[in-house]
Amino acid sequence: MRYDPNQALRAYPHIRSMLQGLPRELWSIFLPDSVHDLAVFERIIQIFKSRETDRAKVMAIQKACGFPLRPNSPLSEMVAKLNIQKLKKKRFEPDDGADDAESA
């Protein structure tokens, strides 16, 4: 490493949280050699964490709606399937107002 880890990591909270439980002797294994690479590594962690939250949302939708569990499905696809399922239920539910009009 060509930098002081304590000073360099102040600007990168995601990397700090990742290294929090590790002994300082192991930090050199996980940290890149340059400060520029630290910025790239921070961005990769941010992307990974956002994907993790999307995956949790997808799994919650799939469990709630009874869809097959496929955690790597895109969130937009799950929302579209959910909307289609809502439309199908709405289409096949009997309309209470129409029954009253026919019997009169």
Task: Tell me the pLDDT of the chain averaged across its residues.
Answer: 85
Per-residue confidence (pLDDT) for residue 97, from 0 to 100: 59
Exposed/middle/buried for residue 83 (C-beta within 10 Å: 0-12, 13-18, 19+): exposed
* Residue carrying structure tokens 């955690």: 71
Sign of the dihedral through C-alpha 40, 41, 46, 52: positive
The predicted-structure confidence for 51-97, as pLDDT tens digits, reads as follows 999 999 999 988 988 888 888 888 888 889 889 988 888 877 776 65
CA distance 41 to 43: 5
CA 54-56-14 angle, 5° bins: 70
pLDDT confidence tier of residue 42, bands split at 50, 70 and 90: very high
The helix/strand/coil state of 15 is helix
Q: What are the extents of the domains in the chain?
A: 5-103
What whole-number distance in Å separates Cα of residue 15 and Cα of residue 31?
9
Tokens of 1: 């490493």
